[in-house]
Amino acid sequence: MTGTETGSDAGSETGSTSTSGSTSGDSETTDVATDEGSEVDDDEPPIMCEPPQRLADAGACTGRIVGVALAANRLGESSYATAAREFNYVTAENEMKWSYNEPSPGRFDFSAGDQVASFAERNGMQIKGHALVWHNQLPGWVESLNSAQAVREAMLRHIREVMAHYRGRVRAWDVVNEAWNEEGTALRDSVFHRYLGPGFIDEAFIAAREADPAAKLYYNDFDGEDLSVKSNAIYEMVRGMVERGVPIDGVGLQMHVRIPDDEPSLEELRENMQRIADLGLDILVSEIDVRWCNGETEEQQAARYHDIIKICIEQPRCTEVTIWGITDRYSWLNVPGAPSCPNGETPHPLLWDDNYGKKLSYDAVMLALQGL
């Protein structure tokens, strides 16, 4: 699949979705009807569509799938579940990570990840698997492996078993997550890199393709959105993978950003997306949230969401947009230690406020997804 696909499969695979209801229902049984169509095509004018009821409908207008990160322990909260049904794609915020699903060697526990997957399936949403090989949220037993053979066996078994469990249910996997250090000057000193060298990345992708040939395979990272040392490093890495025939389908730009418009610069974001697209890879806005700090306004936050997502919509190979959570109240940025506002303010980074009121950012994303 490497280097040969066009960006048009996002729409055709997903189809447009529509619900009979608005966002006010409490039950998990909202009808979701899918229909075919909504392909992205460079030469075609934007697809006209009905006034969208949900964010997913807005994305269907331009052939994109629209995702959200969900936490299993919030799904019982009716306002949370209702807002979640605005989307047609789900990433488990934590529950498909290694520390959750293989807490001790060879003992797999998919119960938490399955709660998120079942919610998605009951509601007609596709699923993104996140994340197979990552230095973070790794159980201690993996961290303490001390030979190349032990690390390789553990990594390959993990990829094989987790992907086998979700085979046929998960559309795409973040196979390797955040392999580069903060600045992009070197690969991180993870247990994988330490014992297997940089080749652990190729090995992981090759194993992932074998484990589920139908799943799309992504490299996912943060702070590699505009043109920088880090985005250059990521670009060169995936370019090499494509040249070597390593099975990779796309690059996730996480997009945990702030309001100032040079972080990332929109022009550079556009250029970075284009050079990745030119390799024949898809691009995902994989974890967007926008911190609102230091006297900035809600309007500015909304504009930032709009402008970034619009750039994705203008790039035919940018196939997915995922918002990293539902309500500000539960954002990962609202916990101690997260990279929140410089002065310690709460960053209110999402589309729904603490009480599930839709923010200006919600309307802005709705417009951007339609290409407006």
The first and second tokens of residue 244, run together, are 């070597």
The contact pattern for ligand G3I, residues 325-364, with x = CB under 6 A and - = no contact, is -------x--------------------------------
- Reading phi first (left if > 0) and then psi (alpha if -120 to 50, else beta), residue 267 is in alpha
- From the list 178, 203, 225, 296, the catalytic residue is 178
Can you tell me which of 62, 231, 254, 361 binds ligand G3I, judged by CB under 6 A?
Answer: 254
CA quadruple 56, 60, 63, 67: dihedral, nearest 10:
10
For residue 210, what is the enclosing H or E element? helix 200-211
Q: How far is the CB of 314 from ligand G3I (least distance, A)?
A: 25
CB of 216 within 8 A of CB of 203? no
Q: Which is nearer to ligand G3I, 120 or 323 (CB)?
A: 323
Chain positions 82 to 121 lying near ligand G3I, rule: CB under 6 A, are 93-94
Interaction of residue 225 with ligand G3I, rule CB under 6 A: no
Residue 236 is among the residues annotated as catalytic for this protein: no
Counting Cα atoms < 13 Å in the Cβ hemisphere of 332 gives 15
Q: Is 287 tagged catalytic?
A: yes
Cβ atoms of residues 302 and 363 within 8 Å: yes
Least distance between ligand G3I and beta carbon 256 (Å)? 6
User: Out of 93, 95, 102, 287, which one is annotated catalytic?
Assistant: 287
* Residue 243: exposure state from Cβ atoms within 10 A (0-12, 13-18, ≥19): exposed
Which residues in 160-219 contact ligand G3I (CB under 6 A)? 177
- The residue among 51 and 337 lying less far from ligand G3I, judged by its C-beta, is 337
Report in angstroms how near the CB of residue 254 gets to ligand G3I at its nearest: 5
Q: Supply the minimum distance, in Å, between the C-beta of residue 323 and ligand G3I.
A: 12
Residue 305 or 332 having the CB closest to ligand G3I:
332
Helix axes 266-278, 298-314, angle to 10 degrees: 20
Q: Tell whether residue 136 is a contact of ligand G3I (CB under 6 A).
A: yes
Lookup: tokens for 274: 């284009």
Task: By CB under 6 A, name the binding residues for ligand G3I.
Answer: 93-94, 136-137, 177, 222, 254, 287, 332
Active centre residues (catalytic): 178, 287
